């Protein structure tokens, strides 16, 4: 099977990549891409793409890669912030639904979505009901065993009590990331089967690095990702 692993930063999947590095193989077709590395693991061809941080970088590099190459499964692996106490730091989740909550316009104190502005319909492809959904949320046993959550993808992570309350009231998200919906958009347009798997590194609150558990989140994420690859 040919797999694509996508992360915003090397840090998030460094333990996993270290386990693959001894089986490095040249890219298929001889094509050169400075952000794409090719490995073999558990009889699978595994390409690793580090996009850089943010939805623009993620959308651009993911779209370029899935159009140039054919994958049976693409995995977005990363950390995230949690709005929900039921998903504390260290929890690994399957982001089955995502969206872009900042995409719209302000009208005084009100926020208008693209649908409310009449610029797009809620079911304009690849959206369904205004959100990006994984059409095969339980297609893999390891992914199916994870809590299925609703995400938002933002340019600015939340750290203000007022803005947190507003986004929770508007979208009721479980987690937030800076790349997830962009990855899902690219895969849906390309028709590539995918899963967005993330580990919670912190609660969404006023910025408090002392409370973050980044190392625990990365370890849990990479353990899950390795099991996924070996049992796909």
CB-based contacts of 52, cutoff 8 Å, min separation 6: 8, 9, 58, 61
Contact call for residues 45 and 2 (beta carbons, < 8 A) = yes
CATH number at residue 109: 3.40.50.1580
Counting the structural domains of the chain, the total is 1
What pTM, to 2 d.p., does this model score?
0.92
CB-based contacts of 138, cutoff 8 Å, min separation 6: 144
CA–CA gap between residue 83 and residue 81 (Å, rounded): 7
Per-residue pLDDT of the chain (232 residues; tens, 9 = 90+): 899 999 999 999 999 999 886 555 555 554 556 789 999 888 889 999 999 999 999 999 999 999 999 999 999 999 999 999 999 999 999 999 999 999 999 999 899 999 999 999 999 999 999 999 998 865 688 998 999 999 999 999 999 999 999 999 999 999 999 999 999 999 999 999 999 999 999 999 999 888 899 999 999 999 999 999 988 7
Q: 99: domain range?
A: 2-230
Q: Where are the beta strands (DSSP E) in 158-230?
A: 175-177, 194-203
């Amino acid at each position: 099977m040919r797999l694509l692993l996508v992360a915003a930063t090397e840090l998030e999947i460094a333990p996993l990549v270290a386990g693959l590095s001894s089986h490095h193989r040249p890219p298929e077709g001889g094509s050169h891409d400075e952000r794409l590395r090719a490995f073999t693991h558990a009889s699978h061809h595994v390409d690793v793409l580090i996009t850089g941080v943010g939805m623009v970088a993620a959308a651009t590099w993911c779209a370029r890669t899935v159009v140039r190459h054919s994958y049976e499964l693409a995995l977005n692996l990363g950390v995230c912030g949690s709005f929900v106490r039921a998903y504390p730091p260290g929890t690994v989740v399957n982001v089955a639904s995502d969206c872009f909550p900042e995409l719209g316009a302000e009208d005084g104190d009100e926020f208008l979505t693209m649908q409310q502005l009449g610029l797009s319909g809620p079911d304009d492809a690849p959206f369904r009901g205004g959100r990006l959904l994984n059409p095969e949320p339980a297609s893999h046993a390891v992914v199916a065993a994870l809590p299925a959550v609703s995400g938002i993808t933002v340019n600015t992570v939340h750290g203000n009590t007022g803005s947190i309350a507003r986004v929770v009231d508007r979208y009721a998200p479980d987690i937030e990331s800076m790349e997830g919906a962009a990855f899902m958009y690219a895969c849906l347009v390309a028709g590539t089967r995918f899963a967005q798997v993330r580990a919670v590194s912190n609660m969404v609150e006023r910025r408090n690095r002392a409370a973050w558990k980044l190392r625990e989140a990365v370890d849990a994420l990479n353990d899950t990702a390795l099991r996924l690859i070996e049992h796909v």
